Amino acid sequence: STRRKLAKPRDDESLNAIVKADVPVAVIFGKSWTLHVREVLGVTWEENLAMITESVEYLKEHGMEVIYDAEHFYQGYLEDPERALVSIEAAWRAGARMIALADTNGGTPPHEVYRITAEVRRRFPAMPLGAHMHNDIGCAVANTLMAVAAGARHVQGTINGVGERTGNADLVAVLPTLELKMGFRVLRDEPPPVKYGRLRELSRLVYEALGLQPNPYQPYVGEFAFAHKGGVHADAVMKVPRAYEHVDPALVGNRRVFVVSEVAGGASVALKAAEELGIPLDKRSDAVKAALEEIKRLEREGYSFDLAPASAMLILMRHLGLYRERFRLLEWRVVAGPDEKAYAVVKVRVGGEERLEAGEGVGPVHAVDVALRRALTSSFPQLNAVVLSDYKVVLPTSVRSTESVVRVTAEFKNGEKIWRAVGVSTNIVKASIKALVDGYDFALQSLQLTS
């Protein structure tokens, strides 16, 4: 931030920490809103301007370029336009290279961001403007784009929009939109496939570093950003991709996927088979029709294959005659232990051999997973690389019955490959076991097809 009130810059701990860091560029923020100056800082407006001016000058004297973030600028402008403008002029006159207008509360709507930024541009035609937006009303990306449209040429944000409260502008959406949709040259002077071809990889890397689950619906890079569910959509996108895709998925490191569900047509099922199995199919074939009918019947019973394509692919493989049984779960039993412990016993047939294995885990599902893996990995060591990475339970609202059913979706990972399977039952453990069995079965069936 700027120096402390009623102090000299040379005595300010924060400013001196920047100087000692010996960096070429310093980013500091100061107040533009009279409410903050009066009620938060507790200083006069004149002292606020001095804090801004002296802080920028001090950093400039130490050889740094200064980017000045005008905190709460839009709120300040709405309350007192002239003083908000004077505050950023003070930073600019003191030598700041860039003035970033900040919507710190994240509550300014896009039309106001455009109007105010355009008015600042008219008032100070030579002032280099930037944008720093928060996402409290879900408009951080839109507001960043509006600020650029109104004259800003510097944007601030974070990968995946992570940040305090509801987050900041998501650079994963902002950067390709500026270049691919608005015609601006962003970052390096390279073609978009080179510049953004690893955008999805970068997004995943940041999620992993923060211990967060990727958002499958995230624009450009999400798992479902280029997913096609309806039969008409799937059929059309293969004929004319831009009919339902705003950009080529490969430009941002993503790929097109086809989702099998109750609203899918034969085209979706056939295209999903081609995508996953590498097998060209006629959407009017008997196998496709039969698989689609089974999928629709199961969805009426509470299944959902949108987020669990592995289970749908097993159905399709059976109808195509490609399925080869690798194992069968014959029996299972779960017993609750002390605290959160549970114990499970499973009987599995692998080839002509029956195996009985036990497992201990935190809860019944974990215990069954441990027992099932013990029964399978001696014959299928490749399953040692498979990890059960996520597990979700929902109550399907579409099922109308006096007996409630639960739907369990299990997510599995093997390196970069991710797949999901689903199970439905009136018994949560039984539904979970169905999802587990499908998940491991799909892993083995996929390896069989690959080999």
pLDDT in tens, 213-228: 889 899 999 988 988 7
Instruction: Identify any residues that bridge with 30 across adjacent strands, giving them in sequence order.
Output: 70
The predicted-structure confidence for 67-110, as pLDDT tens digits, reads as follows 999 999 999 999 999 999 999 999 999 999 999 999 999 999 99
Three-state DSSP at 407 gives strand
Q: Are 306 and 259 in contact (CB under 8 A)?
A: yes
Looking at residue 295, its pLDDT comes to 84
Task: Give the CA distances from residue 262 to residues 126, 133, 236, 292, 405, in Å, rounded to whole numbers and listed in that order.
Answer: 57, 40, 18, 8, 18
Q: Rounded to an integer, what distance in angstroms lies between the CA atom of residue 232 and that of residue 250?
A: 22
Instruction: Write out the DSSP string of 291-333.
Output: HHHHHHHHHHTT---SS-HHHHHHHHHHHHT------EEEEEE
pLDDT at 401: 52
pLDDT at residue 396 in the model: 65
pLDDT tens-digit readout, 155-181: 999 999 999 999 999 999 999 999 999
Other CB atoms within 10 A of residue 8 CB: 11
Which amino acid makes up residue 94? A
The verdict on domain 9-210 having CATH code 3.40.50.11060 is no
pLDDT of residue 53: 97
Q: What is the pLDDT of residue 174?
A: 98
pLDDT of residue 223: 85
pLDDT of amino acid 173: 98
Residue 175 burial by Cβ neighbours in a 10 Å radius (0-12, 13-18, 19+) = buried
Q: CA-to-CA distance for 397 and 348, rounded, in angstroms?
A: 33
Give how far Cα 96 sits from Cα of 6, 25, 56, 122, 273, Å: 22, 10, 6, 19, 58
DSSP designation for 4 = P
pTM > 0.75: no
pLDDT value, residue 274: 61
Residue 199: CB partners within 8 Å, gap ≥ 6? 172, 175, 176, 220, 221, 252, 253
Neighbours of 334 (CB within 10 A): 22
Joined together, the tokens standing for residue 275 give: 């995508």
CB atoms within 10 A of CB 182: 11
Least confident of 34-38, 110-114, 128-132, 227-231: 227-231
Q: Which CATH number fits domain 328-450: 3.40.1710.10, 3.10.20.30, 3.30.160.270, 3.90.1150.10?
A: 3.30.160.270
Find, among 45, 93, 43, the residue nearest to 68 by Cα: 93
Least confident of 62-71, 284-293, 391-400: 391-400
* pLDDT at 402 (0 to 100): 46
Domain locations in the chain as residue ranges? 9-210, 227-320, 328-450
